[in-house]
Amino acid sequence: MAPSLVADSPIVENRQEASNDGDVILDSALVLSDLELANTGGGGEYLDWDDPGIDFAGLLNPQTNDETIQYPSSGASSLTRHSTPSTNPTIQVQQVISSPNVSIPRVPTSAVRSLIQRPKMKTGAQKIAKLMLHTLKSYPRMMLRHNTLPPFIHPHLISSDVENNHKEPVTNCISLVHMISSGVQGSRKLFWKNVRLECERLCEEHLNLDKWELLAAMQALSIFILIRLDEGETDHNNFDSLLLKTVAVIAKGLSRSDIKCNKQSALCNHGLEANWRDWIFVESRRRLSVVYRVVNMLLYFEPAAMCDLQTDLVLAPLPAKKQLWEAGDEFAWKTESERDPGPQTDFGLTANGELVKLDEGQLYCSDAVLLYTSINTRTPPSSTDDWEEWCSGMDGFGGLVMLAASLIV
């Protein structure tokens, strides 16, 4: 309304009288009928919105010399601000603001979910993705059986020969998995409370952990993430960002331990037992990398970007033979290694779903979690014999890798 209408309008007087009687109109705003609203212009005509003389910037940006008037009779704290009249009589406007007690709502306090499934695929690919997800979800359940572990956790890591502090993250994880399998009321809530505490502890102590403790921590985190995927989003597991942060922190620690190990490679390779233990560490990391990369194929998994695997490879290197992985001690491992006098063959899964052999000496450690050189371009394309050769010695990981190959084709 034009300021001249405000001073003489009977509506203001009526509002003041109503306010004195205790009938307060919300926000002390002027209430206009449709007819009155239509007549608040020049001669009772509607505003011409196509008129180039209308300055909409003046409506959105009131002048700095505005006056503030408070209605003393209402006793309310609402304010009415009159903007400086414009030179154009058709846009003389009174701007009303609401009570200062009304504020912008606060930012939601719930944590933002990060483990989100990738967009739906075609029908065939969607079925393959579900099978891959079922395979991943089966790994935590394997821990419920006696002396059974997922195919990326070596039994030697939880044996009595290993120091307790080295295997603590994995043993804690196994105990927590058994706790939620009991079905006791409140066990899920207690499980995730302990997972949160474990993640916070690992973030605080990661600089003091050796490479075996870092490996055990990364394995435990993978089980927690798989259980989170199995449950879906609940009130108890609402801290995806903490899980991903802990994975990133431990992954950086593993890369630093590799640099240290490379510098002391001459000291690492003395004696049969040391060789076997070093092989377990490297092979465990390879298998764990396959798990995390497969998770990234199904979900948006941010820490996967830390692994700088070249674009022509999807999974590399693939797990070693079952006979080597399941060797009970260093002597059995050496015996199995000597059965094949030639060098151990490393395989990789390419971006077009082909299985290829990696040249000897291509794999090395660097600042990334797992970094590999490109496949030699002179190597001839792999044949179906490569799949048969690799599958003939593969354990439970074989099915997951073949499903991954089917998904990307």
Q: Hey, what are 229's tokens? A: 């995927």
How high does pLDDT run on average in the chain?
73
Least confident of 66-75, 118-127, 307-316: 66-75
Which of 43, 78, 96 is the endpoint of a domain? 96
Residue 161 lies in a domain: yes
Which of 80, 96, 112 is the endpoint of a domain? 96
Cβ–Cβ < 8 Å for 378, 323: no
The DSSP 8-state label assigned to residue 396 in this structure reads T
Residue 255 lies in a domain: yes
Give the number of residues written for the chain: 409
- pLDDT for residue 387 is more than 70: yes
Residue 92 lies in a domain: yes
Task: Give yes or no: residues 164 and 16 share one domain.
Answer: no
Residue 105 lies in a domain: no
Task: Give yes or no: residues 54 and 141 share one domain.
Answer: no
Show contacts of 324-333: CB within 8 Å, 24+ apart.
Answer: 324/279, 324/283, 325/151, 325/154, 325/283, 325/395, 326/395, 327/276, 328/155, 329/276, 330/272, 330/273, 330/275, 330/276, 330/277, 331/272, 333/276, 333/279
Task: Give yes or no: residues 137 and 202 share one domain.
Answer: yes
Task: Give yes or no: residues 132 and 250 share one domain.
Answer: yes
Which of 76, 96, 116 is the endpoint of a domain? 96
Among residues 312, 301, 297, the alpha carbon closest in space to that of 131 is found at 297
Give residue 289's pLDDT. 92
Task: Give yes or no: residues 90 and 130 share one domain.
Answer: no
Give residue 338's pLDDT. 84
Residue 106 lies in a domain: no
Residue 114 lies in a domain: no
Q: Count up the domains in the chain and report the number.
A: 2
Task: Give yes or no: residues 23 and 152 share one domain.
Answer: no
Least confident of 54-58, 213-217, 265-269: 265-269
Task: Give yes or no: residues 207 and 310 share one domain.
Answer: yes
Of the ranges 13-17, 324-328, 366-370, the best mean pLDDT one: 324-328
Task: Give yes or no: residues 73 and 191 share one domain.
Answer: no
Give residue 117's pLDDT. 85
What CA–CA distance (Å, rounded) separates 79 from 294?
60
Compute the average pLDDT of residues 157-185: 84
Residue 102 lies in a domain: no
Task: Give yes or no: residues 92 and 217 share one domain.
Answer: no
306 burial (CB, 10 Å; 0-12 / 13-18 / 19+) is: middle
Three-class SS state of 399: helix
Domain housing 69: 3-96
Compute the average pLDDT of residues 164-173: 85
Task: Give yes or no: residues 228 and 155 share one domain.
Answer: yes
Strand 313-315 to 94-96 pairing: unpaired
Compute the average pLDDT of residues 46-61: 52
Task: Give yes or no: residues 41 and 185 share one domain.
Answer: no
What CA–CA distance (Å, rounded) separates 165 from 273?
20
What CA–CA distance (Å, rounded) separates 288 from 153?
8
Show contacts of 108-112: CB within 8 Å, 24+ apart.
Answer: 110/238, 111/238, 111/239, 111/240, 111/241, 112/240, 112/241
pLDDT band at 396, cuts 50/70/90? confident
Task: Give yes or no: residues 215 and 74 share one domain.
Answer: no
